[in-house]
Chains A and B, each alone.
Chain A
Amino acid sequence: MLYDWELTTSIYDAGVDPILGVHVPATARRVLTRPARELWRSDPYRRSRTLTALLRVFKGSCAWAILQDPPRALTDFFTSRLFHRSIEERTSTVRAFGRWLEEGSVDHAEVAALARLEGGLDDVRRQRTTSSPIHSPRWSMSPGARVTKVPEGTSELLDATVRRLDKHPISATHAAVHREWDCADLTLGAGPHETLLLQRDERGGAHISRVSEPMYDLLAALSSDASPNALSAVGAKHCVSPEDLQELLRDLCEDGVVVGLDSLG
């Protein structure tokens, strides 16, 4: 309600979250509607503060989203189903925003591709875990590593976009919001996709490296808590013997890409 005036109005007038279609129980509604309605929007900068923090994570994709014709209003995120669900489910606003950028940019490949990559980079910087706490596989991806598949040229586009934004004498955010940067010669590549390994570095940043399709398949399987049998199947698909696979996993473990304690069993 602090972020979405339409929601506030709807709860005061009808007791309904219009986005999620949820009826607010009468007791909760009484509590929520006791303050003067206008107090809920008395902080004029609440959205801007959150959006500024999100812009730091999605610098490239936001800059491209603002360039869309018509420009995408990033504050629309706060009235979106994805934002409402993230509040309801107490999940990451960053992740919700990344999905919102991706899903709402079907006709704008640059935005969707950059949002996926920037979201992945943020995952590894913050070491968000993907493993299920219930299922603990013998080998799994390190919290500081991810693989992602994005359109060909995405990593170069991100690099070029960020470098140009950072050149702005005021700030990259200013450049993005006011469309004061030149993207005329920037584009995604012509190929189908690139497969990337994203890894957290020692200083808390993240770096990107390309990986082969077979390596991507293996790391993707590890990301989804694959069983030893499933990992062996990925190895077999790419003509890798169980012994070689075991050695490869140990090497990846030494490089901090995967974590594991056991053999393939």
Chain B
Amino acid sequence: MGFESRVRALPQLGIGVSTEYGAHTPGQTLDPVQLRAQHPAFGCFLEVGVEIAKGVDADARRWIDARRPWTYHFLDINLDEREDFDAVWLSQVCALINADDPAWLCGDAGLWHFGPREPENMLLLPPILTADAVLPMAEGIQRLRAATSREVLPENPPGTIFLGDLHLLDYFARVCEAADTGMLLDCAHLAIYQRQHGHTPTTGLDAFPLDRVVELHVAGSSVTNHAGLEIIEDDHGTTVLPDTWEIFDHVLARATNLKAVVYECERNSLEETLEGFERVRAATDAHGRFRGAPS
């Protein structure tokens, strides 16, 4: 079955929030359950960052066990490396997915670790943006999709250094085509890339197949300076760059298969995040998105 058919079968999740192991500190940072209870429209689903060696923490477990919608955001697979799909890792991933039924899988399509999958070897780097690098990435997406029987949405990773001669959007357009897959477009990550390369926020989006965008991320960033160079850190704070909003609004208006938006703000207090959530909802409402999303 092709992407067009498969994407129609995906649930519309609406606006959600992300978490990862240990992200929630009671009384200090966002509690997804509390968010859902007090602001149901902002907590339609939970995106759970998973390193399979750690599993999911107690807060995510509570959410999942209540059979609330969630997505599995991998944090430990180099999709473009065949050898990274070892049998132990894959069986653990499949066991979690089969038991807890996420709506889909997604995650940064980059280098999560160099060498073995060990904490000391962990990092996150973007893929090398060359034509040669497209096929291995596409094959990895297809491999994981086949193994898990779930959609696998590659995400454009953040980075300070991007190597390769393709524009990031050109690379991901080719990956989506070769893997016949949808995509998770992280607006904050794209804003960092565009700014660093001297592009306007929406450069390249007109040529990008936006019907492939199934999920959007919005997140805060901070701008620093190193040796006269502007460095933008994807810090998941609550200060969202205007460039990020510009990308978000542009894509929201055109992504015909959009099913979900995550506001990544997991290490901030509920009060601090409400303005960002309101901004996301105003935009989705303006475009008539997620009217039928469960809450």
Contact = CB atoms under 8 A, between A and B. Distances in A.
Contact of A92 (B115, B123, B227): B115
A132 B130 CA distance: 35
A92 B160 contact: no
A73 to B, nearest CB: 18
Interface stretch (A17-25, A49-57, A190-198): A49-57
Given A39-B160, A39-B231, A93-B121, 17 more contacts: A31-B164, A34-B163, A35-B162, A36-B229, A38-B226, A38-B228, A39-B226, A40-B161, A42-B160, A46-B123, A57-B120, A87-B115, A90-B115, A90-B116, A91-B115, A92-B115, A92-B118
Interface string B234-247: 00000000000000
Contacts of B118: 92-94, 126
Contacts of B164: 31
A40 to B, nearest CB: 7
A264 interface: no
Interface in A113-131: 126
Interface of A: 2, 31-32, 34-36, 38-43, 46, 50, 53-54, 57, 86-87, 89-94, 97, 126
A77 to B, nearest CB: 11
Interface residues of B, number: 21
B163 A92 contact: no
Nearest to B165: A31
10 contacts: A31-B164, A35-B163, A38-B226, A38-B229, A42-B227, A42-B231, A53-B120, A90-B114, A92-B115, A92-B116
**What are the 9 tightest A-B residue pairs by CB atom distance, in nearest-first order?**
A90-B115, A38-B227, A42-B226, A93-B120, A53-B120, A35-B161, A39-B161, A42-B231, A94-B120
A36 B197 CA distance: 11
A91 B120 contact: no
Contacts of B165: 31
Interface in B118-141: 118-121, 123, 128, 130
A50 B120 contact: yes
Nearest to A34: B163
Nearest to B228: A38
Contacts of A39: 160-161, 226, 229, 231
A32 B165 CA distance: 11
Contacts of A43: 160
Nearest to A31: B163
Interface in B182-228: 226-228
A69 B13 CA distance: 60
A54 B119 CA distance: 9
A35 B229 CA distance: 11
Contacts of B115: 86-87, 89-93
Nearest to B88: A127
A53 B120 CA distance: 6
Contacts of A94: 118, 120
B229 A53 contact: no
Nearest to A32: B163
A87 B114 CA distance: 7
B260 to A, nearest CB: 30
Contacts of B128: 31
Contacts of B231: 39, 42
A42 B114 contact: no
A92 B117 CA distance: 9
B153 to A, nearest CB: 27
A38 B226 CA distance: 8
B163 A42 contact: no
